[in-house]
Amino acid sequence: MSRAPSSIGHEHLLNRELSWLEFNQRVLEEALDPSTPLLERVKFFCIFSANLDEFFETRVAGLKQQIQSAVDERSPDGLTADETYQAIHRKVRLLVARQYACWRGELLPALAKNGICFPGFKELSEPDLAWVDTFYRTQARPVLTPLGLDPAHPFPKLLNKSLNTIVHLEITEGGQRRLRLAVVQVPRVLPRLVKLPRADSRQQQYLFMGELIAHYLAELFPGAAILGCWHFRVTRNDELYADEEAAATLLNAVEAEWRARRKGEAVRLEVEHGCPLEIRTLLLENLGLVEEDLFVLDGPLNPVRLMAVVEGDHSPERHDPPFVAPVAAALREEPDMFAAIRRADVLLHHPYENFSSVVDFLRQASADPKVLAIKQTLYRTGGDVQIVSALMDAVRNGKQVTAVVELKGRSDESGDILWARRLEEAGVHVVYGLVNCKVHAKMCLVVRKDDDAIRRYLHLSTGNYNTVNAHLYEDLGLLTCRPAFGEDATNLFNLLTGICQFPGTKKLVVAPFELQAKILALIRRETLHALQELPARIIAKMNALEDPLIIDALCEAAQAGVRIDLIVRGVCCLRPQVEGLSQNITVRSIVDRFLEHSRIFYFENACQQEVWVGSADWTPVHCLRRIEVLFPIEDGNLRERIRSRILEAMLCDNVKARFLQSSGAYTRPHLSRGVALRRSQSELLQAAAARAESEPSRAKTKAKYPRLKLAPSPFAAQRK
Contact status, residue 423 vs residue 384, Cβ threshold 8 Å: no
How big is the CA angle at 376 (ends 341 and 617), to the nearest 5 degrees? Answer: 90
- Alpha-helical regions (H) of 427-564: 483-497, 515-531, 548-560
Exposed (0-12), middle (13-18) or buried (19+): which is 315, by Cβ within 10 Å? middle
End-to-end CA separation in angstroms for the chain: 53
Of the residues 168, 440, 459, 622, only one is catalytic, namely: 440
Residue at 672: amino acid letter: S
Burial string for 602-632 (b: 16+ CB within 10 Å, else e) reads bbbbeeebebbbbbbbbbbbbbbebbbbbbb
SS3 content of the chain, % helix, strand, coil (to 5): 40, 25, 35
Nearest residue to 49 via CA among 11, 100, 6, 109: 100
> In what helix (H) or strand (E) does residue 373 lie, and over which residues does it extend?
strand 371-379
* Helix (H/G/I), strand (E/B), else coil: 3: coil
Nearest residue to 185 via CA among 160, 158, 215: 158
Q: 111 vs 197, 357, 389, CA distance in Å?
A: 18, 38, 40
Q: 259 vs 126, 251, 405, CA distance in Å?
A: 43, 13, 19
DSSP one-letter string for 154-203: PPP-PPTT-EEEEEEEEEEETTEEEEEEEEEEPPTTS-SEEEPP-SSTT-
DSSP state at residue 96: H
Query: What totals of helices (H) and strands (E) does the chain contain, helices first?
Result: 23, 27
- What is the Rg, in whole angstroms, of the alpha carbon atoms belonging to the chain? 27
Contact status, residue 349 vs residue 325, Cβ threshold 8 Å: no
Contact status, residue 581 vs residue 8, Cβ threshold 8 Å: yes
Annotated catalytic residue 440: yes
* Helix (H/G/I), strand (E/B), else coil: 5: coil
Enumerate the active-site residues: 440
